[in-house]
Amino acid sequence: MTDTDSQTTRTELDAIIEALHRDKRKRVRKLLRGMHVGKVASLLEALDGPQRMALWQHIDDDREEQVLKHLTPLLGAQLRREPDTSDLTDEEEEGEGATTQIARVRDALEAGKFKRVGKAFRQMHPAKAAGLLEALPPAERTTVWEMLDAERAGKVLVHLHDEVRARLALEMDEDELVAAARKLDLDDLVDLIQALPSDSGRQLLQAMDVRKRQQLMSMLSYPEDSAGGLMNTDQISVRVDVRVGSVLRYLRLLEDLPDHTDKVMVVDRKNRYQGVLRLSRLLTSSPEVLVSDVMDGDFQPLDVMLPSHEVARRFEDLDILSAAVVDEDGLLLGRITVDDVVDLIREDSERTMMSMAGLDDEADMFAPVLTSSRRRAVWLGINLVTAFLAAWVIGLFQGTLEQLVALAVLMPIVASMGGIAGSQTLTLVVRGMALGQVEGGNARLLLSKEIGIACLNGVLWALVVAALAVAWFGNWQLGAVIAAAILLNLLCAAVSGLAIPLLLRRFGVDPALAGSVILTTVTDVVGFLAFLGLATLFLL
């Protein structure tokens, strides 16, 4: 080695040691990737034990064997001693005191065993790896993300929530992001482009080849919550006037069938949808018969502008694995598969659950404190307004409460009973609306049923509470007042639980988002007003 080479190696060694000392793992990896494997081996030999092991953790797996060839057998054996990763990839253990998978990964990262963690994440299913990534704090999440190769990163990106996906994608170099994106299916690539900031999404789109770019632009032109936004263009289509034997020969020429292919689409010479040919029928039919004789012409396609919730309902009702998507002229555009519908249903359920608490289902669990606080402040403000409204109603009867302290003890019971009864009706109605089972045609009948339930439960529990109030305070008039208030509030809760979601839907507001807040306000106000108003009239 010349003096110049020695000086260069020393400079690189100093740079790597400094980066390791400052915990700049990304810089260490970049420096190593730019070096010849022989020089990497020389650096490993020049370091002491702890520094050598720390550096070894940052060497890419695909370069391990090449580096080891340049090392002595003894040193190579020491570096090869890598703990088993099975304890990181196993499911969480049950029982008190068991160490969770998240804790095991964090412990390995804290101990500097990056290769061990990287190998474990590469062995996991992409969906599981995505869930585990989202459970890690941002710094540790970035560390793990830097260990994944482009192909693996692309598969994991698909399963991440939008905010986390965009943040991790932006941490990748443009070449790495493009390489990861090219491994994705078109529908997943569309989701990624939509999740990225507009400039990054545009750059990613321009990096694709002409054919894929045209397909992506066509898919991006449709609303995200429509059949066009869900579809993929990987369908197999055959003409209606060919023979089954020709179709079989065509399929054998393909390297592989697209995932979830249970049928091929049948079109005419102008690519207009005609029906489907199920693979089971294709395999059992004579090679000489025409496709038109064995296809299912009654299988209805999905309109490209059909709302996504209607798509999910169609799959659920018909119990199908895939369906064709057509435009208004009947031209075949693509298909939707059951895996996308399952993702859609899961996302909708998560969105509903989070929206009821005023949270964003795509938000990062470890988002900055200021960002999370700002998001939640709006919902807290809305609840504060409704709380002041209920407090104002109570304030109207301040004199009554001062004269009869028992009212202050009992009035939360009235509001609580109404709130529970109303939430039962609201949940039933919101679910029915989501399934398309509640609309103007049957709302009156449902209202009659809910009022009947409120009357029966109202009488039952009004008598129970009245008896308890009389036994507690020895005042039968107080028992009668609280019984009447509970009955009135339960009737109001039944009407409100049905009317509120219907009205919100008419005004374009998600009932799952705002329904519970409005309902709670109504039952609190009516409950307090009925109880305290009746007490003022009959007890004072």
Smallest CA-to-CA distance from 271 within 313, 301, 249 is with 301
243 Ramachandran zone, left/alpha/beta (phi>0; psi -120 to 50): beta
Chain length of the chain: 540
Q: CA 271: distance to chain centroid?
A: 35
> β-strand 332-337 against 322-326: which pairing, if any?
antiparallel
> β-strand 273-278 against 302-303: which pairing, if any?
unpaired
**267: enclosing H helix or E strand:** strand 263-267
Q: How far apart are CA 157 and CA 181, in angstroms?
A: 9
SS3 content of the chain, % helix, strand, coil (to 5): 70, 5, 25
CATH class belonging to 369-539: mainly alpha
Helix 369-395 to helix 511-538 angle (10° resolution) is: 20
> β-strand 322-326 against 302-303: which pairing, if any?
parallel
Per-residue pLDDT of the chain (540 residues; tens, 9 = 90+): 444 445 445 566 666 666 666 556 666 666 666 677 777 777 777 776 676 666 667 676 667 677 777 777 777 666 666 555 566 666 554 443 334 788 888 888 887 777 778 778 878 888 888 888 888 888 888 888 887 877 788 888 888 887 888 888 888 888 888 888 887 878 788 878 887 777 878 888 888 888 888 888 888 888 888 999 889 888 899 999 999 999 999 999 887 888 889 999 999 999 999 999 999 999 999 999 999 999 999 999 999 999 988 898 899 888 899 999 999 999 999 999 998 888 888 877 776 666 665 666 556 677 777 777 776 777 778 778 888 888 898 888 888 888 788 888 898 999 999 989 998 998 888 888 877 778 777 888 888 999 999 999 999 999 999 999 999 988 899 999 999 999 999 999 999 999 998 998 888 777 877 788 889 889 999 999 999 999 998 887
Which residues does 282 contact at the CB level (< 8 Å), separation at least 6? 244, 247, 248, 264, 294
Question: What pLDDT, on a 0 to 100 scale, did the predictor assign at position 348?
Answer: 76
| Predicted TM-score (pTM) of this structure | 0.67
Helix (H, G, I), strand (E, B) or coil at 299: coil
Question: What pLDDT, on a 0 to 100 scale, did the predictor assign at position 2?
Answer: 47
Task: Give me the amino acid identity at 329.
Answer: D
Which residues does 357 contact at the CB level (< 8 Å), separation at least 6? 379
Tell me the pLDDT tens digit for each residue of 229-257: 889 888 899 999 999 999 999 999 887 88
Tokens representing 435 are: 């399934």
| Domain 237-357 part of CATH 3.10.580.10 | yes
Domain ranges across the chain? 3-80, 237-357, 369-539
Which residues does 218 contact at the CB level (< 8 Å), separation at least 6? 233, 333
Tell me the pLDDT tens digit for each residue of 275-295: 999 999 999 999 999 999 999
Q: For the sheet containing 263-267, what is the strand order?
A: 237-239, 263-267, 273-278
